Chains A and B, each alone.
Chain A
Amino acid sequence: MSEYTSVTISKGRGGWGGPLTITPTAERPLIYSVTGGGIHPVAARIAELTGGQAFDGFKSSAPFDKIAVAVIDCGGTARIGVYPMKKVPTVDIHATSPAGPLASFIKEEIFVSGVGTADVVAQ
């Protein structure tokens, strides 16, 4: 049995939204990194602090209902809205704000951007 703990993820410089509190559960254990070059350091940090399982979305796929948080390196059009639309809390490492065809799904309660590893803090 894993024990999970919570982190607070705040917007970084030029960012938008949040802060988000993320607590993985046995049902939603995945820290889902949809980023270039493997597991992003922000995703690795969230996994380290929470006990969640870092997962590379470009290596294999996972159902939305297993994802505790999605970490993206979205430039502001597509991924920025996909995960919020599916009610998955979303962390963009780039300093984006709601835009694109899916902008209406991007709310402060479910999305935070401009995030670096220092913006992920254990509770």
Chain B
Amino acid sequence: MTSALSVTVEEQVLYSSTVTAVGEQVATFVEGHGILVFFGVDSPAELHDFSALHEASVATAGPRAGDVVELGGTRIPVLAVGSVVEANLLNLGHIDLKANGAAEADMPGDVNLPSDTLVVPAPGSTFRILRPAGPVASPEDPA
């Protein structure tokens, strides 16, 4: 019964980046749709209008439900995460944050956050994905 020995870990930084530019349509996406789209700085130009571009210094994993996204110092709990989020984040620097309050991810790229939690980030601000300090029940643990 090794699982009875709960291990406490400190809060982990799974991802950390700096916002380098904010497209003209980002405010419309955030304020009109509750959606904030990130892409890496190498993304094609046609994606820049509605995206916050960012450059990562830490990129080890994508979020899962129960993690925290931190945007410009504001911490927001993650409610649900779609199946392709991690691959898109790590491959393309791409992530879609949706402040929809929904407990299930409708689309495979969705990261759901509580309603009305998003703001338009400023260039130079920090975006991070944090995994709270343990003990954490891990689904990978043997029963």
Q: Which residues of A contact B (CB under 8 A)?
A: 34, 36-37, 57-58, 61, 64, 73-79, 82-83, 86, 94-96, 99-101
- How far, in Å, is A96 (CB) from chain B's closest CB? 6
Of the candidates A73, A83, A86, A99, the one whose C-beta lies within 8 Å of that of B88 is A73
Q: How far apart sit A30 and B124, CA to CA, in the bound complex (Å)? A: 35
Contact of A78 with B84 in the complex, beta carbons under 8 Å = no
Given the known inter-chain contacts A94-B84, A100-B35, please indicate yes or no for A86 contacting B98, CB distance below 8 A.
Answer: no
B interface residues (Cβ-Cβ under 8 A, vs A): 28-29, 32-33, 35, 37, 42-47, 50-51, 82, 84-85, 87-88, 90-92, 94, 96, 98, 106-110
Q: CA separation between A94 and B107, bound complex, in Å?
A: 9
**A77 with B35: CB separation less than 8 A:** yes
Known: A36-B88, A73-B87, A101-B28. 14 other contacts (CB 8 A): A58-B42, A58-B44, A61-B46, A75-B82, A75-B85, A75-B88, A75-B110, A76-B106, A76-B110, A77-B98, A77-B109, A79-B47, A82-B47, A101-B50
CA distance A73 to B87 in the complex (A): 10
Minimal Cβ-Cβ distance residue in B for A63 = B46
The residue that B107 contacts in the complex, of A57, A64, A73, A77, with Cβ under 8 A, is: A77
Which 4 A-B pairs give the minimum distances between C-beta atoms?
Answer: A75-B109, A36-B91, A76-B107, A77-B96
Q: Which residues of A contact B106 (CB under 8 A)?
A: 76, 99
- The reply to whether A75 and B84 contact each other, CB–CB distance below 8 Å, is yes
Please state if A36 and B92 are interface contacts (CB–CB under 8 Å).
yes
Chain A facing B: main interface SS: loop
C-alpha spacing A34/B88, complex, angstroms: 11
Nearest Cβ in chain B — how far from A31, in angstroms?
14
Report the number of A-B residue pairs with Cβ-Cβ less than 8 Å: 73
A58 and B85 alpha carbons, distance in the complex (Å) = 18
Q: Least Cβ distance of A42 to chain B in Å?
A: 15
Residues on B with beta carbons closer than 8 Å to the beta carbon of A96: 107-109
Q: Report whether B108 and A75 are in contact in the complex, using a CB–CB cutoff of 8 Å.
A: yes
| Shortest Cβ distance from A100 into B: residue | B35
When the two chains form their complex, are residues B44 and A34 in contact, meaning their CB atoms are under 8 A apart?
A: yes
Contact indicator A94/B46 (Cβ below 8 Å):
no
Q: Which residue of A lies closest to B37 (CB)?
A: A78
Residues of chain A contacted by B91 (CB below 8 angstroms): 36-37
Contact A58 B32 (CB under 8 A): no
Contact yes or no, B96 A75, CB < 8 A: yes
